[in-house]
A and B are shown apart, each in its own frame.
Chain A
């Protein structure tokens, strides 16, 4: 097996034993990038030179006996997370040339942990989309089948990890943007509980929903990366202070005796692809085999989650994205007056989907519409959260498909926003409720495309969720398949 197809925890072991050095891992990763990036377009910016410089520095630190949780591991960062001095575009023309003068807290933590940042990955513009087609830098393709999308919005990160163009990646998840691409690309993606990971330096799409999450080759890597990025940050008022468990320990769970898993009846009906239904059925049996009890539950308001999301997220986005006005940084188009400059810059700088959401958001916050839309959405959001609260009185975890279908064809849904939005129907409720969920590979479609299963846990029960996912992984083989593995 090539190094770039190995998980981080394994590479760490090899590095610490002196079998390989960080440069060897980088060589392998960049070889793979050279081979497949022309097809996949996972990255917006590659940091080849600085990667090797970082590797040298990591080697020095390791030699000095520093304990580095990510010592020498190549990691890709979604290009919506600020990196000091490195262009951060959000896959938008409007941020062209924007080099943040600071690192996001997660980036600083990754660097401190000895991670090597190999590049900034492609995404749907400002994380708005489910296919990574809405990018000013062209679409990313799914390494399992380049005719299909990698999911989105963290499609670049998902494709990179799946294809061995990175060992680890960070994505951001507002309505499923880590989990759905992880599912489409056959990797692990975790949406942490709102407040577990600092958002400082994550360019905001919908602030009350956004969380940064790990995207990795297996659950153990997910735990490893979560440990590095989680925890209170004084720069983010919404980050929560708590004693972090040792997430890696969660991965030692071998059976699920005494655990109750709920399967919402709303999530196994209608519009689900047959292969997805089959994978869920198989997953249920795996969990039962592991000793868990799987019971049917109900989340009665979940059908309102998607429309609720598409009011709250655009509302916040319309405000968050108002700062891209051509005054201070990024694109500025010349015009005769201030008003025209705003109009020209924003009309040309933003893509269609972003403009659609800005307009929806502006509308739902407008005088006379606020109560009917935004306020009502906040109320439904509370109902969705209460659904989960109720469910978690009955069960410990909830199992759903991550997405109703496997990866779809490029161009298939791009002209039908509603159809595209449905791709996140199972992931969105988790963000609304602010709780945590992981997507892991649960099997494959008849066409050989990976299918993700989602395990939802209570707020701040990442430890439990990782444990359940880890037990599943230990019992199944599907996660170890890689698209380019020879």
Chain B
């Protein structure tokens, strides 16, 4: 029996428009006082009517084109009817039978993951539960914040072409990078501007199995963990001779399990029908070609450029393109400093760690570009050694101080003078007779120990190459 996971994803991205999908309220709801960016339209007040935001349409088209989709010439909106307090009209304006775009694909590690459709819809509001945990349990009442209501979304639905949790995670990462590069969405999973649901089933000897839908995966890690858990669960059910039940399941990140949310029988009947308040939408060839012409550099083009022009490797470009701000920062550094390979290395090994430690954002680190430039120059000129350079770079960012100042005020210049280092070497040899003996008896390992001791004695400032030379000479003299 051959068991294979079959995964399809549904991803919602908030579009980076200034105003909502069907009214002129602003979209920047994060951190706002509840219900302060609302109007009769997004509150669904009786008598109000939607008017489509053309900017949202353009962004959606840009995403669809970048996903290699076919744009449908005539599309329309539907109403998706259901009751919930965060949905003030009791229907969501969405798309149903004729989405904006169909039949696209995104390449992940050389494999095409097909995109079934891309469509536009409006976001709902948010319920606020006045409990300590912010959860519904134990709340005496709930409040509704409609600020998010009507924020434009695109939903991207894949074919069930994904075959592992890792691939699913990589797909979402690549998609996030794409929408960021396009300026279509900020793709922030924590703040919910990128949300991912998954459909998963196990094919047995090539035959499709029953699928379950997983909701509430709020990070890349959660996607990978939830899918791995769910695959396991399906496999166990199948291998023990049971049957998977078609249902929607909720990922509990803290417990690391999925739990049943609702069964097939409880599935909503959304009673979709064409939205009579909006006319069918005709997408002209001119509009499409206009958008194609103004397409920014896409992540895969960028990665190619980095490989071809800078000679970077697969892994490096993968890391650098994982978010647009990081790629932008790298490009800015190279423009300023040159030396793409070194810069890439310093960003990936040092800067990302420093940024993490200091809780900074990459986009706020442009001030550090001259610092990096200076550190690399100091290193090249042999003024400081590699170890000192790393420490100085970190300190320069933390203190917002030029590296050269730090080097001078702390006297961190590298010591390359053989005579000066000879004293230090001699002292180390005197104090470490055992190590000297073991080196002389043929144990080469002891050499590195002695070298380390010299560096320590010189407070890391010694030029390691010079130390090595002097140390070799002195040991030879002893043998």
A82 contact set on B, CB distance < 8 A: 46-47
Q: Mark A247-274, 1 if CB is under 8 A from B, else 0.
A: 0000000000000000000000000000
Name the distance in Å between B77's Cβ and chain A's nearest Cβ: 10
Main secondary structure of the interface of B (DSSP, over half): loop
Residue B365 at the chain A interface, CB threshold 8 Å: no
Tell me how many residues of B have a C-beta within 8 Å of chain A.
Answer: 28
Residue B329 at the chain A interface, CB threshold 8 Å: no
Q: Tell me whether B47 and A319 are in contact (CB under 8 A).
A: no
Residue B79 at the chain A interface, CB threshold 8 Å: yes
B44 contact set on A, CB distance < 8 A: 323, 328
Q: Tell me whether A199 and B85 are in contact (CB under 8 A).
A: no
Q: A237-B278, A323-B88 are in contact. Are A100 and B47 (CB under 8 A)?
A: yes
Q: Tell me whether B46 and A101 are in contact (CB under 8 A).
A: no
Name the distance in Å between A193's Cβ and chain B's nearest Cβ: 15
A203 CB contact (under 8 Å) in B46, B50, B81, B85 = B46
Interface residues in B38-60 by Cβ distance below 8 A to A read 40, 43-52
B88 contact set on A, CB distance < 8 A: 323, 327-328
B89 contact set on A, CB distance < 8 A: 322-323
Interface-lining segment among B269-277, B336-344, B427-435: B269-277
Name the distance in Å between B385's Cβ and chain A's nearest Cβ: 67
CA A252 to CA B432, docked complex, whole Å: 120
CA A329 to CA B50, docked complex, whole Å: 20
A365 contact set on B, CB distance < 8 A: 81, 271-273
Name the distance in Å between A45's Cβ and chain B's nearest Cβ: 16
Main secondary structure of the interface of A (DSSP, over half): loop
Residue B449 at the chain A interface, CB threshold 8 Å: no
CA A454 to CA B47, docked complex, whole Å: 28
B49 CB contact (under 8 Å) in A235, A328, A338, A366 = A235
Smallest Cβ-Cβ distance to A202: which chain B residue: B47
Smallest Cβ-Cβ distance to A103: which chain B residue: B47
Q: Tell me whether A235 and B46 are in contact (CB under 8 A).
A: no
CA A203 to CA B47, docked complex, whole Å: 4
A342 CB contact (under 8 Å) in B43, B46, B83, B271 = B83
Name the distance in Å between B333's Cβ and chain A's nearest Cβ: 47
Residue B29 at the chain A interface, CB threshold 8 Å: no
Q: Mark B217-231, 1 if CB is under 8 A from A, else 0.
A: 000000000000000
CA A318 to CA B85, docked complex, whole Å: 17
Residue A207 at the chain B interface, CB threshold 8 Å: yes
Interface size class of A (residues with CB under 8 A): 35 or more
Interface residues in B42-99 by Cβ distance below 8 A to A read 43-52, 79, 81, 83, 85, 88-91
Q: A235-B51, A237-B52, A322-B90 are in contact. Are A362 and B40 (CB under 8 A)?
A: no
Name the distance in Å between B79's Cβ and chain A's nearest Cβ: 5
Residue A305 at the chain B interface, CB threshold 8 Å: no
Residue A234 at the chain B interface, CB threshold 8 Å: yes
Residue B279 at the chain A interface, CB threshold 8 Å: yes
Residue B144 at the chain A interface, CB threshold 8 Å: yes
Q: Tell me whether B49 and A374 are in contact (CB under 8 A).
A: no
B272 contact set on A, CB distance < 8 A: 365
Name the distance in Å between A101's Cβ and chain B's nearest Cβ: 6
B271 contact set on A, CB distance < 8 A: 318-319, 362, 365-367, 370
Q: Mark A341-380, 1 if CB is under 8 A from B, else 0.
A: 0100000000000000000001001110010001000000
Interface residues in B414-453 by Cβ distance below 8 A to A read none
Question: Which of B49, B81, B279 is packed against the most chain A CB atoms within 10 Å?
Answer: B49
Q: Tell me whether B85 and A338 are in contact (CB under 8 A).
A: yes
Interface residues in B311-331 by Cβ distance below 8 A to A read none
Residue A236 at the chain B interface, CB threshold 8 Å: yes
Chain B interface residues (CB < 8 Å from chain A): 40, 43-52, 79, 81, 83, 85, 88-91, 144, 269, 271-273, 276-279
The 6 closest A-B pairs by CB, nearest first: A322-B90, A208-B276, A365-B271, A207-B276, A203-B46, A201-B47
